[in-house]
């Protein structure tokens, strides 16, 4: 069964991993430091909650039908996967403030539930149902926690 932010056990496991992340944790790939990664993940969750309304990019409309199953499937995202430029974080961030922001957004995403998430548009994949959003957000957080070995 696919892991999801809407599953309490999956969410608790992610929360434990987030708690072990420290400001000086070294990345295993990519460019972001831990605080930047936390904000990057928060921005993704803002899209999922509808706080950051997005429109699907044209390339996504063309490619999504061919890769949707792979992206939403069991296999983790590969290292250095592409990201939408609006989600790139390059400036210095306050680690604890970003950790609180992300935890708050996870809680809001879960409290709003799958029905609400299903109303949001992903910048690349377009319309996702609530279960797909729950799986995608879990997979995204897992990807970046693995980036820092937690």
**Residue 2 domain flag:** no
Q: What is the pLDDT of residue 71?
A: 87
Higher pLDDT, 145 or 65: 145
Is residue 1 included in any domain, yes or no?
no
The DSSP letter of residue 85 is G
Question: Which residue range forms the structural domain that includes residue 44?
Answer: 8-147
Q: Is residue 3 part of a domain?
A: no
Tell me the pLDDT tens digit for each residue of 70-126: 889 999 999 988 888 889 999 999 999 999 999 999 999 999 999 999 999 999 999
Output the six-digit token pair for 63: 């490619």
pLDDT at 82: 83
CB 114 within 8 A of CB 49: no
Give me the pLDDT at residue 128, please.
Answer: 95
- Mind listing the pLDDT tens digit for each residue in 28-83? 999 999 999 999 999 999 999 999 999 999 999 999 989 888 889 999 999 988 88
Residue 127, in any domain of the structure: yes
Residue 123, in any domain of the structure: yes
Residue 105's domain is classified under what CATH number? 1.20.120
Q: Is residue 26, in this structure, part of any structural domain at all? A: yes
Instruction: Tell me how many domains the chain contains.
Output: 1
């Amino acid at each position: 069964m696919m892991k999801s932010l809407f599953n309490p056990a999956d969410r608790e496991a992610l929360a434990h991993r987030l708690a072990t992340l420290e400001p000086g944790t070294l990345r295993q790939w990519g460019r972001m430091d831990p605080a930047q990664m936390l904000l990057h993940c928060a921005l993704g969750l803002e899209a999922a909650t509808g706080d950051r309304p997005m429109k699907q990019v044209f390339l996504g409309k063309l490619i999504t039908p061919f890769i949707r199953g792979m992206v939403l499937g069991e296999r983790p995202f590969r290292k250095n996967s592409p990201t939408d430029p609006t989600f790139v974080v390059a400036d210095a961030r306050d680690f604890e403030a970003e950790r609180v922001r992300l935890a708050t957004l996870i809680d809001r995403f879960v409290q709003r539930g799958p029905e609400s998430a299903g109303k949001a548009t992903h910048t690349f994949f377009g319309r996702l149902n609530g279960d797909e959003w729950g799986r995608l957000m879990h997979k995204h957080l897992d990807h970046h926690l693995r980036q820092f070995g937690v």
